[in-house]
Amino acid sequence: MRVAVEPGVCLNVRHREGAGRPYLFVHGLSSNALLWEGVAEHLPNPSWAIDLRSHGESDAPDKGYDTATAAADLVAVIAELALDQPVVVGQSWGGNIVVQLAAKHPELVGGIGLVDGGWIDLAAAFASWEECERALRPSEIDGLPASRLRQWMANAHPDWSAAAVEATLANMRLRPDGTVERRLPIDKHMLIVRSMWDEPPAQFLPLITAPALLLPAMGPQEEKASRVTSAAELIRRSRIVWYPDGDHDLHAQHPAQLASDLATLAG
């Protein structure tokens, strides 16, 4: 379905029927709602998965490519769909978006799930914006054959299902000649990265009142795990479930296990 978040801007939302507290799924940077299908099908609850601006099948306006606007878009989606305190789950940048939503609008959220995101602080990870920009600028892939990308993803992620590989391929638009182009252009991608630099989540974490489940793709003994535990300590009601063998896209790699963990938030 299409949901208007402001005049002239509609976002695509995928829906699954069910019973109980609703779930709202938020993808990461340069991803799309399809990647949540594997998780949603393992939940008995109704769920909605959103394509953010210039992602998936959503509109691609000229503005609004920052974390705060994405959080405001979620507010509009929750209101338009009349969702009653949903469990809002975000992956990677989507986790940072969910943190802002839960901090600014605690009355709208019944629980939050942070899937390898929600604690991402680029300013703490890089010495300067210029270093961050060089490291995180995506490569040029427009014009590559879709078949080559499909094979590369299948080889890189042998434990993903074929559906998860195809969902990832949907991050790109397929051209008539069989090549692909980015749905989210690099300039807009970097506007979002800049907003992540400017809007670290630590300032919002203490304002969260809903139960929070942190699901990092790492073990508790890894060096970067301290960022996760520090984030959890700032949230009033939080719990961590570690995925020591996980990759960044846990929803593609371990959909059933992730659904089982997220189900605890709807109790």
267 pLDDT higher than 80: no
pLDDT band at 89; cut points 50, 70, 90? very high
- 6-54 tens-digit pLDDT: 999 999 999 999 999 999 999 999 999 999 999 999 999 999 999 999 9
Asked whether the beta carbons of 98 and 196 are under 8 A apart, the reply is: no
Of 35, 56, 44, the C-alpha closest to 16 is 44
Asked whether the beta carbons of 119 and 97 are under 8 A apart, the reply is: no
Domains of the chain as residue ranges with CATH? 2-125+200-266 (3.40.50.1820)
Of 31, 32, 33, 30, the C-alpha closest to 48 is 33
Q: Give the mean pLDDT of the chain.
A: 97
pLDDT at 76: 98
Distance, in Å, from the CA atom of 20 to the CA atom of 262, rounded to the nearest integer, reads: 13
Indicate whether this model's pTM tops 0.95.
yes
DSSP 8-state secondary structure symbol assigned to residue 254:
-
163 pLDDT higher than 90: yes
DSSP 8-state secondary structure symbol assigned to residue 140:
P
Asked whether the beta carbons of 70 and 201 are under 8 A apart, the reply is: no
Distance, in Å, from the CA atom of 199 to the CA atom of 18, rounded to the nearest integer, reads: 35
- 170-196 tens-digit pLDDT: 999 999 999 999 999 999 999 999 999
